[in-house]
Structure 1
Amino acid sequence: MTQRTITHDVVMGLTYYSPYVSGLTEAARLVAEGLAARGKRVLVVATRHEAHLPAHEVLNGVEVRRTPVVARLGKGVISPTFPAVVARAARRSRVLNLHMPLLEAGAVALLSGSTPTVLTYQCDVSMQGTRLDRVQQRVMDLSSAAAMRRSDVVVPSSDDYAVHSRLRPAMEGRTRAIAPPCVDRRGGAPAFRDGAGPHVGFVGRIVEEKGLEFLVEGFRRLEDPTARLLIAGDHARVAGGSVVERVRAAVGADPRIRLLGFLPDDRLADLYASLDVFALPSVNSFEAFGIVQVEAMLAGVPSLASDIPGVRIPVQRTGFGVVVAPRDPDAVHRGLRDLTLDLSDRVDGARRTAELYGLERTLDEYDAVFESVARPGGR
């Protein structure tokens, strides 16, 4: 392949892309836009998960192509043309970057031929409900493992998550841990504060793996009538369905707890500025890091994180917060009590977090990994 046939520096493939919001899609978007701002030619191929979205557009310097969706299956969608479109673009790219879990990963890796491949492995799929769910999980694992064995580098969010992954054997010897990109959202106004009491916050999709009912139950055991719990996140447009009714049932009539709904990016700085503690009470391996907890920590807010692989790492590495047992309202209660009583060292905690998890550091590491395997190719 000659240099003249190379059309992109990086082709990214993933199921959902902006305007869909999740930790996986936001990580991909920030890397794509960050590299595009550095002069890289970046193409994202995703599914057209909403019919009104254009099949082709440019978003913040990133070329985006979307393939038609013919059906939905659990949290995923079926787009028959997706693997071929990604692979065709990959063969004209210096490097392919797949963001996983991705049902079609194995097929894309095979169809992409000799294109150098970097897999961003966000998390294991956790589908333990019906028999069909278990079959889907098995198929996803087989596809992911096949892609890993054909890849040049597998990028987990942390070594801790990689060694606890079900797919550790397939990725072993290929891993290069890089933290997901996290935005520094300091400087907001405390617009969400309601009184002088301690404010606890959560940001994320209102889905089962977030463990929100355990956060609500733990918070409600705080006796302080001035304490507040602010839960921000989408529950109307969530792949696989929301558990908002379960969360509302846990809230009951407690007037100290507010469900804020989806917050756009330009309101997150104000939310973080309103908080004394951030909580990430995740309950399973579908959560592997928690970008939002690090963004809160960057803004000077300590985190209460579940003791599960990957999620616990930012708090453990920085010492800025507490790690508690998952699915344990008593542990959540004790952690919140301790953190709301000790609000010292916020500036130093934010500094330590920035040293380890700044956005530019993540972009530098991705740029270096891509260049280490990419084939030559100019404009």
Structure 2
Amino acid sequence: MRVLHIGKFYPPAAGGIETFTAMLARAQAAAGDAVAVLAHAERRSWRTRQRADGTIAVHEVARWGQLAYAPLSPGFPWQLARAIASHRPDVLHIHVPNTSAFAALLVPAARRLPWIVHWHADIPLDSASRALRLAYPFYRPWEQALLRRADAIIATSSAYRDASHALADWRAKTTIVPLALDDAPAVPPGETLWPPGKRRLLAVGRLSHYKGFEVLLDSVAQLPDTSLLLIGSGERERALRTRIAELGLQSRVRMTGHVDDDTLRGAYAAAEIFCLPSLDRAEAFGMVLLEAMRAGLPCVASAIVGSGVGEVVAAGTTGLLTPPGDADALAAALDRLSNDEELCRRFGTAGRERWQNDYRPAAVSAATRQVYAQALAHRAAADRSG
């Protein structure tokens, strides 16, 4: 099988979608597939470049900048046509949201191929970003055209599929395939990363409004024995640092910004509790929850209606779920785990077993291959009837 993935970015760019795309591409390459990836340059660039990730050909298209969350990459359609010509894929695997993915609608060579649209998240209409809300009416016709043209759609959880307005007309051709996470090399626990405290709490993610880190800080303020390590960068960094000072948490909260993979794994190895306090369905799945489960950590996360978070964290088995935005409930859940080492151990062990059984690359790659086979069969039948 020859596969061309179309993504927004590719590692070392940080992000759950990026991490998963690389994991799936590597699993497919290890199985003998010829795999290529077309994505944007992580940093602003005037030139397209190619590099290799093992046997995977990675094409990083020049990106002049970004408008709201949309990369400005006018050469993307041309580079898509070039990638198709050079790689000769049997299938296009299109990861969205990504405005540049709409180039597939415009490129004749792309339209001749079967498409799998991997639906990682809706555009959140309740976003704090006014620009995002205003832009969506212009985005939606392209989004729906992409879904209409898709031979198959993959959603990451049944909860997200069923709650998605964008997918409402396309559920019949939507298959559920969860995200996955592969093994990671062992590293020494990074205990020195934390400020002093009796319990080491870890949170990881982009510093965006929907991640709910302000709520987490309000919760930590109620837990004098807890120290928090917050890993990630983003537009809310200054506001979060201001909130830390207002709450007098400078001695118990440390923000690291973006860190390298070894430092991140060391943080997971040293942590005692993991928290994902997201506020809304912009948190579609929670890749960091798999990282925490892999590390054997108990998880506290938000019970977001219509999100896959509640499917990843099995409440009462691998962790606890609390109402989004409720700092008191979050503090109570964190306090419960902080004072019950046996419960932490039980949740952590069950979480690691759940990752091993349900969220490994081999199973997800096999399920994706079945979707490819169905799309190819659908396209062949359509060609015969046409």
Alpha-carbon separation, structure 2, partners of 1:186 and 1:198: 25
311-320 or 24-33: which moved more?
A: 311-320
Q: Counterpart of 1:171 in structure 2: which amino acid?
A: W
- Greater shift, 256-265 or 81-90, is seen at 81-90
Question: How far did 1:169 drift?
Answer: 1.7
Partner amino acid, structure 1, of 2:117: L
What is aligned with 1:27? Answer: 20
Q: What is the CA distance between 1:371 and its match in structure 2?
A: 3.5
Shift of the 192–139 alpha-carbon distance from structure 1 to 2, 3 Å rule, reads farther
Q: What is the aligned partner in structure 2 of residue 147 from structure 1?
A: 146
Q: Does residue 47 of structure 1 match 2:43?
A: no
Q: Per-residue displacement from partner, 1:164-205 (whole Å, max 9, x unpaired)?
A: 112122331111111112233474432225567221101112
SS in 2 for 1:16: coil
Question: Which position in structure 1 is the counterpart of 2:260?
Answer: 264
Q: Residue deviations 1:243-280, cap 9 Å, x none?
A: 00111122123111111221211222211111111111
Q: 1:183·1:295 contact (CA, 8 Å) conserved in 2?
A: no
Q: Which has the higher helix share?
A: 2
- Does the 8 A contact of 1:109 with 1:117 survive in 2? no
Whole-angstrom distance in 1 between the partners of 2:141 and 2:320: 36
Q: Of the candidates 106, 115, 120, which is equivalent to residue 122 of structure 1?
A: 120
Query: In structure 2, what is the equivalent of residue 208 of structure 1?
Result: 209
Kept after mapping to 1: 8 A contact 2:292/2:299:
yes
The residue number in structure 2 matching 1:367 is: 369
For the 8 Å contact 2:160–2:308, the answer to whether it is kept is yes
Please say if 1:179 is aligned against 2:178: yes
**Which position in structure 2 is the counterpart of 1:246?**
239
Q: Distance between the aligned counterparts of 2:338 and 2:140, measured in 1?
A: 41
The two structures have a TM-score, normalised by structure 2, of 0.86
CA RMSD of aligned residues (A): 2.4
Higher relative contact order (CA 8 A, sep 6+): 1
Counterpart mapping for 1:342-357 below 5 A: 342=340, 343-345=344-346, 346-357=348-359
Given the superposition, is the C-alpha separation of residues 13 and 210 from structure 1 closer, same or farther in structure 2, using an over 3 Å criterion?
A: same
- 2:375 is aligned with what amino acid? V
Q: What is the alpha-carbon distance in structure 1 between the residues aligned to residue 205 and residue 131 of structure 2?
A: 26
Closer, same or farther: CA 129–336 of 1 in aligned 2, 3 Å: closer
- After superposing the two structures, state which structure 1 stretch, 75-84 or 285-294, moved more: 75-84
Work out the CA distance in 2 between the residues paired with 1:318 and 1:358. Answer: 22
CA gap of 1:186–1:57, structure 2 versus 1, over 3 A, is closer
2:14 partner letter? V
Per the alignment, residue 383 of structure 2 pairs with none
**Equivalent residue, structure 2, for 1:298:** 294
* Aligned AA (2:7): L
Select the residue among 330, 338, 342 that pairs with 2:336.
Answer: 338
Which ranges of structure 1 fall in alignment gaps of 5 or more residues? 1-7, 236-241
Which position in structure 2 is the counterpart of 1:5? none
SS at match of 2:274: strand
Deviates more, 1:119-128 or 1:152-161: 119-128
Structure 1 Cα separation of the partners of residues 83 and 68 of structure 2: 28
How far 1:87 sits from its partner (Å)?
4.8
- Counterparts of 1:299 and 1:71 in 2: how far apart (Å)? 36
Q: 1:161 to 1:318 in 2, by over 3 A?
A: farther
The alignment status of 1:321 with 2:315, answered yes or no, reads no
The offset of 1:138, in angstroms, is: 2.4
Deviations 1:317-345 (A, max 9, x none): 78200111111111210111122223231
C-alpha separation in 2, matches of 1:266 and 1:283: 29
1:20 to 1:106, Cα distance in 2 relative to 1, 3 A: same
- Give, in whole Å, the separation in 2 of the partners of 1:24 and 1:138: 24
**Amino acid of the residue matched to residue 266 of structure 2?**
D
Structure 2 segments unaligned to the other structure (5+ residues): 380-386
The 3 A distance-change label for structure 1 pair 183 and 340 is: farther
SS in structure 1 opposite 2:356? helix
- Mapped partners of 1:300, 1:99: distance in 2: 29
* 1:34 Cα deviation after fit: 1.9
Change beyond 3 A, Cα 1:291–1:132: closer
1:122 Cα deviation from its structure 2 partner: 0.7
Stretch deviating more after TM superposition (363-372 or 92-101): 363-372
Q: Is contact 1:186-1:273 (8 Å) kept?
A: no
Percent of residue pairs identical? 27
Contact 2:44–2:64 (Cα < 8 Å) also in 1: no
Letter in 2 for 1:247: L
Residue in structure 2 matched with residue 82 of structure 1 by the alignment: 76
Q: Distance in 1 between matches of 2:363 and 2:30?
A: 15
Pairing 1:167–2:166 present: yes
Cα separation, partners in 2 of 1:281 and 1:143, compared to 1, 3 Å: same
Shift of 1:292: 1.0
AA partner of residue 209 (structure 2): E
Q: Partner amino acid for 2:152?
A: V
SS of 1:270's equivalent? helix
Match of 1:219 in 2: 220
Partner SS state of residue 293, structure 1: helix
